[in-house]
Amino acid sequence: MKITDAKVFVGGPAKNYVTLKIFTDQGVYGLGDATLNNRETLPAQYLQDYLIPSLIGMDPRNSEDIWQFFYRGAYFRRGPIAMAAFGAIDMALWDIKGKMAGMPVYQLLGGKSREGAMVYAHATGADLEDLMDSVAAYIEDGYKAVRVQCGIPGMPTASYAVPEEKGDSKNYMTNFSGIRPKVEVWDSDRYIRYMPDALAEIRDRFGPELHILHDVHHRLLPREAAEFAKAVEPIRLFWLEDPTPAEDQDALRLIRQHSTTPIAIGEVFNSIWECNKLIENELIDYIRVAATYGGGITHLKRIVDLAALHHVKTGFHGAPSHSPISMAAQAHLNAWAPNFGIQEYLVLGTPECNALFPSEHRMENGMVFVSEAPGLGVDFDENEAAQYSYQPGSHPVVRLQDGTLWNY
Ligand code: KDG
Ligand code: MG
């Protein structure tokens, strides 16, 4: 069996999805997602210029060897651009493997450990009351877990994942007004004084059963993060995400020494080498690496297996930046993983997205049920794709009030 061709598409409804389609001499094709939010053209170009020419002629069934070929062959290892490109190839090869076997990918991983996988949604509000409305709407829709973010009184601008206007909770993430980032202004002290009480009010309003998650988005120093994690302990969060940037991995020790609040980290990691020490030292509770820029199913499974040895559960990144293809890859891992925790989930559901990526993965009552179709169980409609093209966009940058550049 041979790979005969591969094509890359960039674009999508309100997103620049990077979709790889690998063709074979047996009529079977595979799909992969290389979307690297706000840097989308780079993995696309990497695939086109460096990887696809070598891929043609290879046997697609040898997904492990092909992964090693590109990873080791690059010499300059890792990095989100390369790992997103390798990840897309890897997903497409698992898709082909499943289609050839006539089995959904989760069967090739070891079968199902559960029927439905719990997901969490993003509730957000310009202020706390606005956020409460957003949480209530998700509970009404059947969600058992929500991530909560709200505007902080006196904060000079809206913060991470918070809308500027009340009632605009669906419109806070993608800024397609050009490549130059907009600037947010941040004040950690104001946040630390306000947010623990706000989280306590959310717990009081919605009761003990709701799983409440909160994302600090790398904004606190290690000591501040320890103070915050300790202050929110009585709220019994499901997790506190990215409390401090994890480049300094030892910093996580300080948080652990001061608090039992569960910690989730890893959405910016792209290999096992960024999280193996955090996992082995049991400094985190959930690992957030995504199938996309985490090198696909082959590499992410390695991380999940290591995590399982150390009581660390999965909580894969699933921001709207990932296409339904990598969400499908994660759905198969979620169905199998003995140490599944939760899945962030926002992608599927819009009619435009469903038309571009038809699939039978289904979301019901805050759970995702994996498709039984052979392979990844998601398709890509090239006719639909023809109406989309790359739209320049950017993440905001963050400054402190005196102008110092901070972490987005
Ligand atoms: O591209 C950046 C987003 O994916 C990120 O800001 C989302 O933090 C995020 C999350 O938890 O979904
Ligand atoms: Mg996050």
Please indicate whether residue 215, judged by its CB atom, sits closer than 6 Å to ligand 1: yes
Residue 352 CA, ligand 2 centroid: distance in Å = 25
Please indicate whether residue 319, judged by its CB atom, sits closer than 6 Å to ligand 1: yes
Do 123 and 57 lie in one domain? The reply is no
Do 211 and 186 lie in one domain? The reply is yes
Please indicate whether residue 343, judged by its CB atom, sits closer than 6 Å to ligand 1: no
Nearby residues of 68 by Cβ (< 8 Å), 6 or more positions away: none
Residue 349 CA, ligand 1 centroid: distance in Å = 19
pLDDT tens by residue, the chain, 408 residues: 999 999 999 999 989 999 999 999 999 999 999 999 999 999 999 999 999 999 999 999 999 999 999 999 999 999 999 999 999 999 999 999 999 999 999 999 999 999 999 999 999 999 999 999 999 999 999 999 999 999 999 999 988 999 988 987 665 566 777 889 999 999 999 999 999 999 999 999 999 999 999 999 999 999 999 999 999 999 999 999 999 998 899 999 999 999 999 999 999 999 999 999 999 999 999 999 999 999 999 999 999 999 999 999 999 999 988 999 999 999 999 999 999 999 999 855 689 999 999 999 999 999 999 999 999 999 999 999 999 999 999 989 999 999 999 999
Do 344 and 220 lie in one domain? The reply is yes
One-letter identity of residue 397? V
Do 148 and 81 lie in one domain? The reply is no
Rounded Cα distance between 104 and 376, Å, is: 6
Distance of CA 107 to the CA centre of its chain: 23
- Mutate which of 149, 172, 217, 219 for ligand 1? The one with the most ligand atoms within 8 Å of its CB, which is 217
Per the DSSP assignment, residues forming a β-bridge with 292 are none
Angle 181-184-188 from CA coordinates, rounded to 5°: 140
Please indicate whether residue 95, judged by its CB atom, sits closer than 6 Å to ligand 1: no
- Number of other CB atoms surrounding residue 77 within 10 Å: 11
Do 100 and 218 lie in one domain? The reply is no
Expressed as residue numbers, the domain containing 77 is 3-104
**Which pLDDT belongs to residue 164?**
87
Do 100 and 48 lie in one domain? The reply is yes
217 CA: nearest ligand 1 atom: 8
Structure token pair of residue 173: 């993430």
377 neighbors 370 (Cβ within 8 angstroms)? yes
**Count, residues in the chain:** 408
Do 284 and 200 lie in one domain? The reply is yes
408 CA: nearest ligand 1 atom: 6
Rounded Cα distance between 357 and 383, Å, is: 11
Q: Rounded to 5, what percent of the chain is helix, strand, coil?
A: 35, 20, 45
**Which pLDDT belongs to residue 401?**
96
**In 25-182, alpha helices (H):** 41-46, 52-55, 63-73, 80-101, 105-109, 128-140
DSSP run (H or E) holding 7: strand 3-10
**Which pLDDT belongs to residue 168?**
77
Do 256 and 281 lie in one domain? The reply is yes
Please indicate whether residue 37, judged by its CB atom, sits closer than 6 Å to ligand 1: yes
- pTM, two decimals, is 0.97
How many domains, in total, are found in the chain? 2
Please indicate whether residue 267, judged by its CB atom, sits closer than 6 Å to ligand 1: yes
Please indicate whether residue 40, judged by its CB atom, sits closer than 6 Å to ligand 1: no
Phi and psi, residue 256, nearest 5°: -60, -40
CATH of the domain at 11: 3.30.390.10
Residue 301 CA, ligand 1 centroid: distance in Å = 21
Do 366 and 397 lie in one domain? The reply is yes
Residue with the two structure tokens 């469903």: 354
Domain end position, chosen among 104, 136, 166: 104
- Mutate which of 119, 288, 321 for ligand 1? The one with the most ligand atoms within 8 Å of its CB, which is 321
Residue 395 CA, ligand 2 centroid: distance in Å = 13
Nearest CA to ligand 1 atom 7: 319
Domain end position, chosen among 53, 78, 104: 104
Domain end position, chosen among 55, 74, 104: 104
Query: b vs e for 388-406, b when ≥16 Cβ sit within 10 Å of the residue's Cβ?
Result: beebebbbeebbeeeeeee
Residue 319 CA, ligand 1 centroid: distance in Å = 6
Report DSSP letters for 18-60, one per residue: EEEEEEETTS-EEEEE---TT-THHHHHHIIIIIHHHHTTS-T
CATH of the domain at 311: 3.20.20.120
**Which pLDDT belongs to residue 346?**
81
Report DSSP letters for 292-358, one per residue: TTTTHHHHHHHHHHHHHHTTPEE-----TTS-HHHHHHHHHHHHH-TTB--EE--STT-HHHHHHS-
Nearest CA to ligand 1 atom 12: 319
Nearby residues of 386 by Cβ (< 8 Å), 6 or more positions away: none
Rounded Cα distance between 405 and 323, Å, is: 31
Residue 183 CA, ligand 1 centroid: distance in Å = 17
Any idea which residues carry the catalytic annotation?
A: 160, 217
Please indicate whether residue 268, judged by its CB atom, sits closer than 6 Å to ligand 1: no
Do 160 and 27 lie in one domain? The reply is no
**Which pLDDT belongs to residue 348?**
56
Do 257 and 209 lie in one domain? The reply is yes
Do 100 and 120 lie in one domain? The reply is no
**What ligand has the least distance to the C-alpha of 242?**
2
Please indicate whether residue 321, judged by its CB atom, sits closer than 6 Å to ligand 1: yes
- Mutate which of 18, 147, 213, 215 for ligand 1? The one with the most ligand atoms within 8 Å of its CB, which is 215
Sheet with 405-406: list strands edge to edge: 183-186, 397-400, 405-406
Rounded Cα distance between 50 and 29, Å, is: 20
**Which pLDDT belongs to residue 170?**
63
